[in-house]
Structure 1
Amino acid sequence: MGKLNLIKQHAAYYKANAKPVELEIEPINCLAISGIGAPDGELFQKSIGALYATAYTVKKYGKSDGTDFVVPKLEAFWWVEGGLIFDQTPQNEWHWQLMIRMPEFVTNDHVDQAVEEVIKKKNLVLANEVQLKPINEGRSVQVLHIGSYYQEEPSINKILDYMKLNGLEMNGYHHEIYISDPTKTAEEKLKTIIRYAVKEN
């Protein structure tokens, strides 16, 4: 039996183009870890490490049980408190929740066991913050952004214009799905899906 590949199985979730598209996102479960701070800060980077270590340990358990799977793309929710505007808020005040989607058969017991192993064997104490969380965005609008994470405004404006034209308003946080690996891809070629849950205005 081959590996379960959620990226292929749920292709619409991981695909977007330059034109805003409205779609219905199914409820999912994600490994998640939250924090506050700049994306190039130590906490953010260590949180990514703890999240991936936990995800690959859960995958290892699945492989031994005959339910191996491909670890999906990294994602993140971003927000600032009190209705402030991102580009007017210092990065050390940015809130984020890093996420990696998990197959339906992954349980809290799997995650708890993986966290315990990651802390014990890799000494990544931050893994203790990793949890299995349900995410239910529902109706959403998304667009593909190509380029730097710090030059997303034109892509975000495409979504905002679409929402205004179609009588929609935001119903959740700024959501990014990192299609490209920033350690292997030139900044100007980075591909990121930007998504907002929406509702009728």
Structure 2
Amino acid sequence: MTKIEWKKTEPWYSTRKKARILTLPDQHYFLIDGLGDPNQADFAQRVQTLYPLSYAIRMSYRNDWEIDGYQEYTVYPLQGHWSIQEQYLNQTPMKKDYFKYTIGIKQPEFVTAAVAEKAKQRAAEKVDAALLKQVRFETIKGKQVSQILHVGPFDEEPVSFAKLEDYLKTEGYQRVSHEHDEIYLSDPRKTAPEKMKTILQVEIKLV
């Protein structure tokens, strides 16, 4: 069985520190939306809803579930798409309570809508029923992005975003919007804040 080595073959998961420009392909995800401060319990509960679904597929071959085209792989890292709730767009100072987000975990190409639905059924006993109803399986369309690796606490991300902005200016690009994506390569429960690794990613276009 050929193993999916996404850390080696999908460059948007690279820990390269310098800013870069990439074109993302269409990608499949389990997704759930949320509002407010990610440091609160509601965010953690939404994260905890996604992982059992992903592991149901990952461990399917050990649990009497044969999936067509299955390949062994490591579960992909958590990702987040971050923006501001519309009613707070002009509010200052900015507060984390104003955030609007979509968090997700990417799924391999062999995962279909039918497979995703069966994963939800198999994981139902492990997650909150109300939150499970909010999870959707969706294909996010490809786009051109620029990204940079941020090492350190989440609250220090503006320093890395400033570096990314400088890079885009020199390359003749600009951000499409103030929204951005984050890929969490570290587990905050097990990693010291100064060693946290987070990929910061923004959609771009030529100036």
Instruction: Using structure 2 for the length normalisation, give the TM-score.
Output: 0.86
Question: Separation in 1 of the partners of 2:2 and 2:206?
Answer: 42
Inter-partner Cα distance in structure 2 for 1:98 and 1:85 = 24
Cα pair distance change 1:17/1:87, threshold 3 Å: farther
Structure 2 residue 199 is matched with structure 1 residue 193:
yes
Q: Aligned partners of 1:141, 1:70: CA distance in 2, in Å?
A: 25
Q: How much is the aligned-residue C-alpha RMSD, in angstroms?
A: 2.2
Structure 2 gaps, min length 5 = none
Q: What is the aligned residue count? A: 199
The alpha-carbon distance between structure 1 residues 76 and 185, as it changes in their structure 2 partners (threshold 3 A), is same
Show the counterpart of 1:171: 176
Call closer, same or farther: CA 1:51–1:152 in 2, change over 3 Å: same
**Structure 2 counterpart of 1:39:** 38
2:163 to 147, 158, 167: 158
CA shift digits 1:3-24 (9 cap, x unpaired): 43333332x1211433211122
* Alpha-carbon distance, 1:165 to partner: 2.7
Could you say what secondary structure the match of 1:116 adopts? Answer: helix
- Verify: 1:124 aligned to 2:128, yes or no: yes
Partner of 1:136: 141
Aligned equivalent of 1:72: 76
* Structure 2 counterpart SS, 1:192: strand
Give the share of equivalent positions with the same residue, in percent.
28
Q: Structure 1: which 5+ residue stretches go unaligned?
A: none
SS in 1 for 2:4: coil
Q: Distance in 1 between matches of 2:151 and 2:91?
A: 19
SS of alignment partner, residue 139 of structure 1: strand
1:190 aligned partner, one-letter code: M
Q: For residue 137 of structure 2, what is the amino acid of its counterpart? A: L
Provide, for residues 99-125 of structure 1, a one-character-per-residue CA deviation record: whole Å limited to 9, x for no partner: 111111101112222222322x22521
In structure 2, the CA distance between the partners of 1:19 and 1:5, relative to structure 1 (3 Å rule), is closer
Residues 188 and 51 of structure 1: is their aligned pair in 2 closer, same or farther, counting only changes over 3 Å?
Answer: same
1:2 CA drift (Å) = 4.9
4+ runs deviating over 6 angstroms: none
* Aligned equivalents of 1:7, 1:127: Cα separation in 2: 28
